[in-house]
Amino acid sequence: MKVSDAARVTLPQESQSATTDDPYTQVRNARYAGQVCGTGRVDMVTGPGPMTLTLSQSRAVASTWSASVSISPWKVSSTVGFSVTDTATNTESGSYPVPAGQFGYLEAYPLYDVYNYDIYNVAVGDRYVGGGSAQHPVGYCYNAWAN
């Protein structure tokens, strides 16, 4: 399977005033945790062999994030280095050669860079109070098979 690199990523800026929370909470220690394929299929092609299935897409995919305690998204964004409330548009294509006599499938799923982070409360002695993760869409994962 041939997969090209992401051709374009566009991220709008996030407003710091969008959400307010405890002024004593801080997000720290953002750590890159690798990449993960999303679970929501964004596109699919099928067909009989012999042929090469090709799948090209340009889609806006939302960033995602989670936290074990209440925290403003702008605090997470400023620590991980991307807006956790916006979308990124990625353009890519993939292909899969289907053998003669078989039926092929080619699916695309969003590919995310994953960052983990810690949350501290400085009002109570700079105490660790939780953590979370943020996922930034950087391209697509492809799943291909024939039967």
Predicted confidence (pLDDT) at residue 66 exceeds the cutoff of 50:
yes
Pick the CATH number of 2-9+26-146 from 1.10.1660.10, 2.170.15.20, 2.40.110.10, 3.30.70.100: 2.170.15.20
Q: Six-digit token pair at 32?
A: 């890159």
| Cα gap 35→30, rounded to integer Å | 15
Cis peptide before 50 (omega within 30 of 0): yes
Which of 57, 71, 88 is closest to 27 using CA atoms?
A: 71
| Cα gap 67→62, rounded to integer Å | 17
Instruction: Report the share of the chain in percent with pLDDT over 70.
Output: 86
Q: What is the mean pLDDT of residues 17-37?
A: 82
Query: How confident is the model at residue 21, as a pLDDT?
Result: 65
At 97-139, the pLDDT tens digits run 999 999 999 999 999 999 999 999 998 888 999 999 999 999 9
At 42-58, the pLDDT tens digits run 999 999 999 999 999 88
Predicted confidence (pLDDT) at residue 33 exceeds the cutoff of 60:
yes
Rounded to two decimals, what is the model's pTM?
0.79
